[in-house]
Amino acid sequence: MNDMSVCRLAKLVLLLALPVAATAQAPQPAGTLTIAGQTDQVTLVRINGKAYVDVESLARITHGSIKFQGSQTILTLPASGAVVETAPPPSASPARPHLSENYLAAQVGATAAIREWRAALVHAVENNAPVTEDWTGKLRRAAESQVQQAVAAATTDQDQRAINLLRNEFDNLEQLNDQFVTMHNTASNISPDAFKDNALDAKIVGCEHALDAMSGSKQFQDEATCH
């Protein structure tokens, strides 16, 4: 800060000490005061046509110090020519690439078909209904058709990474489906509690939630349960 700036600031501080008459106008906002080369600013108020600033705020933006001794207010300003460093603004993080709109729409359709397939399988097992290849085959083919549409829609690198998780989700449910078809063919009935503590089914449910989250955020996020 040069000597002329210090002089002007000293005059501004003197204005703060001037008494305001009882008939003075109510303070009105009068913009802001900023020191050249600094980012801080304080609010100005206008009284009877003159602009005033709070002395403590003035000390803050000039990087000075203020102390009170009896009826005196002493403002100490930085030495002339002193350089006050300001922190650089934080750099913006680069935007993460999004999944393409066409792929997202296809993924939503595929996860819905997979969810419907699993829900039908759970309902059949819990209600001791036959789990046959003819019946589950229709659900399998419907889900597979939706997955193939997602494969065709995957055009970006992020899409390709996401489609791998979707394929794994389909493969895991297909494996679980085959387990229950085999159990039906070799046993008179399947325990209604067969889904409880089933590690493969837990992976399927976890991956389903991860795929839903990706559809919401529109960004790829790897998930261990989808592998």
Q: Do both 138 and 216 map to the same domain?
A: yes
Is 167 a member of any domain? yes
From 17, 41, 76, give the residue that closes a domain: 76
pTM: predicted TM-score of the whole model, two decimal places: 0.60
Number of C-beta neighbours around residue 135 at 10 A:
16
- pLDDT 10s digit of each residue in the chain, 227 long? 555 554 555 555 444 444 444 444 556 676 777 777 777 777 777 777 777 777 777 777 777 787 777 667 777 877 765 555 556 666 666 777 999 999 999 999 999 999 999 999 999 999 999 999 999 999 999 999 999 999 999 999 999 999 999 999 999 999 999 999 999 999 867 898 999 989 999 999 999 999 999 999 999 999 999 99
Residue 23 lies in a domain: yes
Q: What are phi and psi of 72, to 5 degrees?
A: -100, 145
Same domain, 111 and 221: yes
* Cα separation, 60 vs 30, whole angstroms: 19
Same domain, 113 and 217: yes
Burial class (CB in 10 A: 0-12, 13-18, 19+), 142: middle
User: Is residue 85, in this structure, part of any structural domain at all?
Assistant: no
Pair (7, 56) in one structural domain: yes
Q: Are 147 and 212 found together in one domain? A: yes
Domain that holds residue 72: 3-76
One domain for residues 119 and 159 = yes
Indicate whether 62 and 143 sit together in one domain: no
Count of the separate structural domains present in the chain? 2
Coil, helix or strand at residue 191: coil
Three-state secondary structure call for residue 30: strand
Following CA atoms 149, 150, 154, 160 in sequence, which dihedral angle do they give, to the nearest 10 degrees? -140
Tell me the C-alpha distance between 109 and 115, whole Å: 10
Among residues 200, 195, 205, 204, the alpha carbon closest in space to that of 124 is found at 195
Are 147 and 193 members of one domain? yes
- In this structure, the answer to whether residues 162 and 54 fall within a common structural domain is no
Is residue 80 within 8 A of residue 3, CB to CB? The reply is yes
